[in-house]
Structures are given as structure tokens and as C-alpha cells.
Amino acid sequence: MLVLGIESSCDETAAAVISNGKMCSNVIASQITVHSQYGGVVPEIASRKHIEAINLVIKQALNDAKVTLREIEGIAVTRGPGLIGSLLIGLSTAKALAYALDIPFVGVNHLEGHIAAAFLAEKAPSFPFIALVVSGGHTNIYLVKNYHNFQLLGQTRDDAAGEAFDKGAKLLNLGYPGGVVIDKMSKNGNPQALVFPRAMKDSPDFSFSGLKTSLLVMLKKRGCDFPESQLPDVAASYQEAIVDVLVEKTIKAAEDNGISRVVVCGGVAANSRLREKFAAATAARNMELFIPPVILCTDNAAMIAAIGEIMLKNGRRDSLDLNAVSRWPIA
Ligand code: KG4
Ligand code: ZN
């Protein structure tokens, strides 16, 4: 089945074409340069930028896949969770196209999309598996039993891991989004140079707000910013504190549930240290690890089309009165 995917839940306008589980194109227009001057995503600006980009992005996705709009057999679009104004741009576009082309469409959960990025790989995970969904808005561990059955095993009680990266980078004046900058800077730093807290040791849940506070306290105590020469050590130590708990709690969830397959997805799964430590931790326990390529970890429409195609093939159809939702837990 030839499916067009559309994603506009935050600050990336994305479209992709999937054919029978294979990615034919994957186009992403990022708004990062616009939002970075404000230190974070400005929802109203995001909506306006989505309107400007969406038709061009879809056209590019069709061109790259060498298909015409008339050949598309179904549309999958992110319905939530996300910024409501941003979601509405993608959803309205999807509905208009589905109506005009007289083809079915489905509204997809963004988190299910992130997990489905793993299905696009040459070697896809079989069920059941443990999934860590780690992004700017979520840090959730699920036991995934099939395409529609998710059991939440752990979640953040406050900030998401991506938020911890972004807020830490902001405190260090490293710019937005923080994850990429901290990742890059950490490559030249010593992760053991400074001691940051690892919260909620004996719980399946996460907490990252104390980590951000401890960096703030450190900065206040010094009365000045860290000199440039020390920044790699600070970044590497801060990153290590986030990565350690993500790996530890996910592996524990897998062990406790007797599962040997682990999927790591979402924007923070692009982090090189996280990928490295998950590879080591799973190899040491004879577990199979599935992390999508970096381009499919951060927001994209291929992952939305991937799960959308499965839903459409199972007969799922949404009607034209479907609304966007800002919050939408999958378990
Ligand atoms: O999945 P995503 O693109 O959007 C959401 O659904 O939130 O995730 C964005 C988050 C941001 O917080 C960003 O800082 C983080 O992913 N991120 C990273 C890296 N690349 C993106 N965090 C750590 N290391 C990276 N390399
Ligand atoms: Zn996302």
C-alpha cells in the first residue's frame, strides 16, 4: 500500500511516502533557526511556519518517492500529542487531501509513531519488546505486546529527558535545542569530572528536575559561568547522569519482565553516548537492541506513515470530523 505520512506536532513540518513498510521518501523542514532565538518553541510561530511549509514538503516527499498524489492510497497523520495549533495544520491538510482524493486517512499517535520507526529498519523487532520513548516531551518505558497493546512500566514524574538536555544547555548558554549541542560538546569531555544526581534509584519512574537544579546551584555557587575550557567536562558529566538512568531503568524493566528485545526511540535516542551505552548494556546481557537511525529518531513523517500503513491495512479509518488532541497517552 502506498501511504503518505504527515507530521506537524511540534517544530518540524514533515512528509514521507511508505510502500509496504519500506520508506520511499522522508522530507523534514525544521523550524529550529526560527525558534532558537527565543530559546524554545513558540507555538504561534510554529503553526504559521507549518502553514508555509506543508504543501512544499508534501510535494517534495512525492517527488523524492517518484509518485504522484493520485497514486497515494492512504494518508497517516499525527493527531496528537503535541501543540494543538501545529497538529491542526497537518490534520487539516490530511483531511483535505483524503477528501479530495477519496482515500482513507488515519490519525496516528506521535508516540506510537516514534516506536514504529523501529519497524522501518532492515531488522525489525518482533513482539513483545520493551520500548523506551525518550523525547522533548516524554520519557516513557513500555512493554509492547503487539501493535496496539502498550503497558506503561515507567515514566518521568517531572521533566522529560530531552527537556533536561534543553534546559541544561540553556543554563550553560549553549543554545537551543540543547541535546545536539551537549552531545557534540561531551565528545571532548570527561563524564566523571563532575558529580550530578541520579534520581529515583529504586523506582521504575524518572525524575530529571533535580538534575537541572543541581547544575543551577553549581553555577550560582561559582558566581560565574564555567570557563569555555571546562564546558566539555560539565556537558559530558551532565549528559552521563541522564544517559545512566535511561539505560539502567530500561534494562531493569526488560530483565524484570523477562524480555530480551529493547527498542530505544524519540529525539534523545539520537544521542551518541546513549546509543553507545545501550549497545554495551544489551550486548553484555545477550539482549537485542533496536535503535532507528538518527534521522528517524527525531521527529519525522516516515514513522507516522509506518504505523499508519499497518492501521490502514487492518481496516482502521478515521472520519473527517476527527479532532487533534494535545494530550493522548497510549497506555
Ligand atoms: O522526538 P523529538 O524530535 O520531538 C519531540 O517529540 O519532543 O525530540 C526532541 C528532543 C529535544 O529535547 C532535543 O534536545 C532532543 O530530542 N535531542 C537530543 C539529541 N538530538 C535531539 N538529545 C540528546 N542528544 C541528541 N543528539
Ligand atoms: Zn517526537
Domain presence at residue 247: yes
| pLDDT tens track for 148-173 | 999 999 999 999 999 999 999 999 99
Query: Are 211 and 283 contained in the same domain?
Result: yes
Q: For residue 272, which amino acid is it?
A: S
Domain presence at residue 242: yes
Pocket test for ligand 1, best of 135, 187, 264 (most atoms within 8 A of CB): 135
For residue 162, give the ligand nearest its CA: 1
Query: Are 14 and 36 contained in the same domain?
Result: yes
Query: Are 191 and 306 contained in the same domain?
Result: no
Nearest in space to 241 (alpha carbons), one of 330, 161, 329: 161
| pLDDT tens track for 181-214 | 999 999 999 999 999 999 999 999 999 999 999 9
Domain presence at residue 230: yes
The Cα 26–Cα 61 span in angstroms is 6
Query: Are 168 and 33 contained in the same domain?
Result: no
| Angle separating helix axes 43-65 and 84-101, nearest 10 degrees | 40
Query: Are 41 and 152 contained in the same domain?
Result: no
Mean pLDDT for the stretch of residues 68-86: 98
Nearest in space to 6 (alpha carbons), one of 77, 55, 81, 92: 77
pLDDT at 42: 97
- Say if strands 74-80 and 149-155 run parallel, antiparallel, or are unpaired: unpaired
Give the number of domains in the chain: 2
Is residue 282 very low, low, confident or very high in pLDDT (cuts 50, 70, 90)?
very high
Query: Are 30 and 15 contained in the same domain?
Result: yes
Cα separation values, 32 from 35, 45, 53, 70, Å: 5, 11, 13, 32
Nearest CA to ligand 1 atom 7: 136
Domain presence at residue 320: no
For ligand 1, say whether the CB of 179 is within 6 Å of any of its atoms.
Answer: yes
Query: Are 143 and 15 contained in the same domain?
Result: no
Query: Are 32 and 60 contained in the same domain?
Result: yes
Counting atoms of ligand 1 from 1, which one is nearest the CA of 138? 7
User: Cβ(223)–Cβ(178) under 8 Å?
Assistant: no
| pLDDT tens track for 233-244 | 999 999 999 999
Q: What is the largest CA-CA distance in the chain?
A: 63
Domain presence at residue 20: yes
Query: Are 282 and 151 contained in the same domain?
Result: yes
CATH of the domain at 270: 3.30.420.40
Nearest CA to ligand 1 atom 8: 267
User: Cβ(262)–Cβ(132) under 8 Å?
Assistant: yes
For ligand 1, say whether the CB of 298 is within 6 Å of any of its atoms.
Answer: yes
The Cα 59–Cα 66 span in angstroms is 10
Query: Are 272 and 140 contained in the same domain?
Result: yes
Pocket test for ligand 1, best of 140, 180, 208 (most atoms within 8 A of CB): 180
For residue 233, the CA-to-ligand 1 centroid distance in Å is 21
pLDDT at 176: 86
pLDDT at 21: 97
Domain presence at residue 331: no
For residue 81, the CA-to-ligand 1 centroid distance in Å is 16
Domain presence at residue 330: no
* Percent over 90 (pLDDT), the chain: 98
For residue 209, the CA-to-ligand 1 centroid distance in Å is 17
Instruction: For residue 179, report the phi and psi dihedrals to the nearest 5 degrees.
Output: -55, -50
User: Cβ(88)–Cβ(47) under 8 Å?
Assistant: yes
Confirm whether pTM is higher than 0.85.
Answer: yes
Query: Are 136 and 272 contained in the same domain?
Result: yes
The Cα 50–Cα 14 span in angstroms is 9
Domain presence at residue 192: yes
Query: Are 16 and 140 contained in the same domain?
Result: no
Please list the residues that pair with 155 across neighbouring strands: 140
Mean pLDDT for the stretch of residues 255-268: 98
Counting atoms of ligand 1 from 1, which one is nearest the CA of 161? 12
Q: Note down the domain range covering 162.
A: 125-291
Question: 288: which 3 cell numbers?
Answer: 537485542
